[in-house]
Amino acid sequence: MEEIKASYPQLGNYCTPLELLFTEGFDVKYIVPPPITKKTLALGSRYSPDYVCAPFKYHLGNFIETIEAGANTLVQTGGVCRLQYYGELHEQILQDLGYRVNFVNMSKVQDTNPLTFYNGLKEINPQMSLQKIGKILPIVLKMFEYIDEAENFIRKNIGFESNKGAFEKVHADFLGDLRRVRKKKELKNTYRDYMKLFKGIEINKPADPLKVGIIGEYYTIMEPFSNHYLEKELAQMGIVVDRWMNVTNTLIHYPKKQIQKRIKNYAEYPWVATSMATIDRALEFARKGYDGIIHVKSFGCTPEIDAMPILQNISKDYKIPILYFTFDTQTSETGFNTRLEAFYDMIIMRKETKK
């Protein structure tokens, strides 16, 4: 039998814990998906329906790239928006293009019963063992959390580093070392050592820096290429960047009840996908007196469009400016930069007059 070489599309830096899950848990070879680039987008757009959301195109492009890199087994997840239909369409498109791969569509097993879910996973490798998964899963989840915690720290400080590139260098080393981790203790030590390194990086942060919170749709907010490296651009302007949306806060510890309670005055009924988290965070950033909020979404993202009128109310009630970005497949930077620079001019002027 051919060796199983599996993969899942790139999202931020999460391929590191996924590699651990696939290799140690599912007992298959993991193909690290190539980084998202213009080529990914070009490939994905060429074979996708024009009006589908941009994350679908990124995924499709990246699937093709991973196949070219040697993958023969692809995994797609389910979701609570159009994402739920991604898998079926991706599988069909790849098949029509002539790619012969084992496509595991986990949206078929959106079931609360763990056994059904496990049976779905078995399509990746029929020989996988529950014991192996059980052993590695806590480490995988912890790795997600540690990556998120480290990146949270980076976002808030990278804009003030004295030596340009210092954070990126340590960050890359951190992710590199995580790839070698197999045991809980190793993971903990790696995290501890690197957090020390991160905290030791010399920064020059003013007492009251500009603070901007990022909110919005799941993929576009987490995959930096798809949002034109928004966080990096903001950091380079000397801004503390805060973003709550990540795997830890949504898939691992999603505080649904608390969110519903907190946003009750703005949204009475439960909403799907990321809209509730978007509203909740906007409210939190506004209450904390942040200088501004940036909302990002892919073109046509219904849950996030639904949240926008509420965001406008929050913006009015708390007098906090919100900048809205919609990303599709355009790669021109001019319009993006114009709006972002104007946003910066605005929040810095507002802050100065407040003083």
Partner 1 sequence: MSKGYLGIDIGSISTKGVIIDENNNIKASEYLWTEGDPLKAVKRLLSTLKLQLADSQIRIVTVGTTGSARKLIGAMTGASVVKNEITAHAIGAMSIHPEVRTIIEIGGQDSKIILIENGIVIDYAMNTLCAAGTGSFLSSQAQRLHINIEDFGRIALQSTKATPIAARCTVFAESDLVHKAQIGHKKEDIVAGLCKAVVANYLNNVGKGKKIISPVVFQGGVSKNIGVVKAFEELLGMPVAVDPNSHLTGALGVALLAKKSRVEKDFFFDITDIEFKTVGYDCKKCSNNCEIICIYREDQIIDAWGNKCENGAVH
Binding site residues, partner 1, CB under 8 A: 34-35, 37-40, 229, 299, 309, 312, 315-316, 319, 321, 324, 326, 328, 330, 334-335, 337-339, 341-342, 345-346, 349-350, 353
CA distance 221 to 213: 11
**How near is the Cβ of 334 to partner 1 at its closest, in Å?**
5
User: 258 vs 330, which CB is nearer to partner 1?
Assistant: 330
User: For residues 330 and 47, what is the distance between their CA atoms, to the nearest angstrom?
Assistant: 16
The smaller minimum CB distance to partner 1, of residues 16 and 40, is found at 40
263 versus 347: smaller Cβ distance to partner 1? 347
* 271 membership: H or E segment, kind and range: none
Comparison of 21 and 314: residue with beta carbon closer to partner 1? 314
CB of 349 to partner 1, least distance (A): 5
Inter-residue contact 26 to 124 (CB < 8 Å): yes
Whether the Cβ atoms of residue 94 and residue 63 lie closer than 8 Å to each other: yes
Nearer to partner 1, 108 or 339 (CB): 339
- Measured between alpha carbons, how far is 334 from 264 in angstroms, rounded to an integer? 39
Q: Which is nearer to partner 1, 157 or 326 (CB)?
A: 326
In sequence order, which residues have a C-beta less than 8 Å from that of residue 182 and are 6 or more positions away?
20, 24, 139
The backbone region for 165, taken as left when phi is positive above 0, alpha when psi lies in -120 to 50, beta otherwise, is left
Q: What whole-number distance in Å separates Cα of residue 93 and Cα of residue 263?
A: 40
Nearer to partner 1, 193 or 341 (CB): 341
The CB-of-34 to partner 1 minimum distance in angstroms stands at: 7
Nearer residue to partner 1 within complex by CB, 34 or 303: 34
- Considering the complex, what minimum distance in angstroms separates the CB of residue 188 from partner 1? 32
Structure tokens at 293: 């909020």
Of 137 and 305, CB closest to partner 1: 305
Q: Which is nearer to partner 1, 35 or 102 (CB)?
A: 35
What's the closest the beta carbon of residue 325 comes to partner 1, in angstroms? 8
CB of 157 to partner 1, least distance (A): 21
| Min separation Cβ 214 and partner 1, Å | 18
Phi first, then psi: what are they for 272, rounded to 5°? -90, 175
CA distances from 339 to 127, 142, 216, 257, 316 (A): 52, 37, 17, 35, 20
Contacts (Cβ under 8 Å, ≥6 apart) of 113: none
Q: Name the minimum Å distance from CB 321 to partner 1.
A: 5
C-beta separation of 320 from 286 below 8 A: yes
Angle CA(5)–CA(8)–CA(11) in degrees, nearest 5?
140
Q: How far, in Å, CA of 336 to CA of 340, rounded?
A: 6
Rounded CA separation 166/145 (Å): 22
CA trace torsion 335, 338, 339, 345 (10° rounding): 180
